[in-house]
Amino acid sequence: MHSSEWFETDESLLFYDDNIILEETSQGVWEDCVAPSIFSVAYFLSQLVLVNFIFALFVSTVRLKKELFHLLSGVCGLYLIYQLEFYEGKLLLILVFSSSYLVLILIDLLQKALSLLGKEKIHRTSYFSSSNIIKYTLIVILVLCEYFLMNAATWLEIRGLVMVFSMKLISLVDDMEKDIVQFPSFFNYFGYIFCGANVIFGPWISFDEYNLMYDKPTRKNFRWMFSIVRTLAISLFFLTVSNCFCNYVIDGEMPVFLQSYKEALSFRTSHYFVSFLSEVTMLSAGYKNSKIWNEPDKWRYEIVNPLKIEYPTALATVVTHWNKPMHDFLKKYVYRSWLPLGKFYAILATFVMSSFLHGFELKVSVVLITIGIFSYLQFALREYFAGAFDCCMRVHPCKGCCKHKHKREALLSICFRLLFTLTNVIHLVYLGMLMDSSTDEIGIINKWRSLYFISFWLMSINVSIILQI
């Protein structure tokens, strides 16, 4: 049946054949999805990059007055907020953000009054410390917005911005309380809150880090521009994966686990898109990781590490690498303040705080708190196994010389770690699929039922091992 003597005469046929393959598969995805997806954000992204780029160039070439610098930074952010495609909520954002300076003053006055009354400075762990007041007020406001004050669509649009704002405010008040920073001038505060580099997509940066740009502007060079383009490309790549290729590779007729995997993957890649985009805005405004601040050749502002999440060796690493600035924020301002009560409570409090920052939206909170508990349990199980099998397989490799019988590279350790990675993939699917918008119609329980509550079974095995043996 197969031979080659007819080959030469029929090359024309093969040519047409090629065209047909091309037309029926990938081309449609490009034309119908990739191009329109990129098109529909292209204008906003270009504004985002350009505004910050111009800001960075301006700051590094002209030595501005302090007030002018902060004003410029804030105006960039205001302009970008104005560029957002919201119908409502924009004005509200601007009003709330600006008037929060009054709150700052009020709190300061309150502290002074209280300390006069009590004749001593309020201790920062007390309930009436300004950081606690601001935290709980913000939580109440966020939850009220989520459930009562605003309509769901509008709130969803502005929630990201409000979260970044809340984190900035909490960290600022906390830092002031610890006397790390002085009470900011209005311009300084305005520039920090509306900073064009992070007002839209985050990331959270500390007040000090923001001011570092004025005190010591980064040196801009060719690598800087290259890094912007590269990060933007990565970001858009993840956008197309999230919007298009997920659907294209896993179509509607495949088994339910793959469907769930698709939903989770689509959510994760959407998050990578946003995270890399926020890295783009930070880079184009001239910010970079403080570790490499003085190295003009290195340009990164690491927010997410997709590799660590797509190949999840431990749930704890997923949590850490999901959004590093936010992780740092939670660690510094929540975890540490709860640590005296014990590690488990501190972790739980962190995740609860994180879900409060999300307005305590049901699905987000369920995901966050579940992943918090799971990562703790997994951490404990791995500690236990490491002892029981005398095998180096903790979440974090042993510091220095490993004293276990089986080293990190031993077969036993590798097998165990692979096993954990596999279960983590399942956990991520199980939790990530809730973030898909279809959850609002189908319901969390129904979605989990379709996967037979697999993660809970896995975790109950986990718990029973810890408890019984």
| Footprint of other proteins (CB under 8 A) | 1-7, 10, 12-14, 16-17, 19-21, 23-26, 28, 31-33, 35-37, 39-44, 46, 84-85, 153, 156-161, 163-164, 200-202, 239, 242-244, 266-267, 270-271, 273-274, 323, 358, 361, 363-364, 435, 437
Look at the block and give the residue holding tokens 């204008």: 43
The sign of the torsion formed by the CA atoms of 371, 374, 378, 379 equals: positive
Nearest approach, Cβ of residue 273 and other proteins (Å): 6
Complex with other proteins: residue 47 or 60, whichever CB lies closer? 47
Q: Which two tokens stand for residue 396?
A: 């974090």
Complex with other proteins: residue 107 or 434, whichever CB lies closer? 434
The sign of the torsion formed by the CA atoms of 234, 240, 245, 251 equals: positive
The sign of the torsion formed by the CA atoms of 325, 330, 333, 339 equals: negative
Cα–Cα distance measured from residue 462 to residue 382, given in angstroms and rounded to the nearest whole number: 10
Nearest approach, Cβ of residue 95 and other proteins (Å): 19
Nearest approach, Cβ of residue 80 and other proteins (Å): 11
Nearest approach, Cβ of residue 73 and other proteins (Å): 20
Complex with other proteins: residue 42 or 105, whichever CB lies closer? 42
Cα–Cα distance measured from residue 55 to residue 72, given in angstroms and rounded to the nearest whole number: 8
Complex with other proteins: residue 19 or 99, whichever CB lies closer? 19
Residue pair 179/121 in contact (Cβ under 8 Å)? The answer is no
Residue pair 112/104 in contact (Cβ under 8 Å)? The answer is no
Nearest approach, Cβ of residue 85 and other proteins (Å): 6
The C-alpha angle with vertex 33 and arms to 30 and 37, in degrees rounded to 5, equals 115
Q: Would you list the DSSP string of 37-83?
A: HHHHHHHHHHHHHHHHHHHHHHHHHS---HHHHHHHHHHHHHHHHHH
Complex with other proteins: residue 244 or 349, whichever CB lies closer? 244
User: How much helix, strand and coil, in percent to the nearest 5, is found in the chain?
Assistant: 75, 0, 25
Type of residue found at 425? V
Complex with other proteins: residue 240 or 423, whichever CB lies closer? 240
Nearest approach, Cβ of residue 159 and other proteins (Å): 4
Nearest C-alpha neighbor of 249 from the set 2, 33, 20: 33
Nearest approach, Cβ of residue 110 and other proteins (Å): 31
Complex with other proteins: residue 163 or 458, whichever CB lies closer? 163
Nearest approach, Cβ of residue 33 and other proteins (Å): 5
Complex with other proteins: residue 246 or 459, whichever CB lies closer? 246
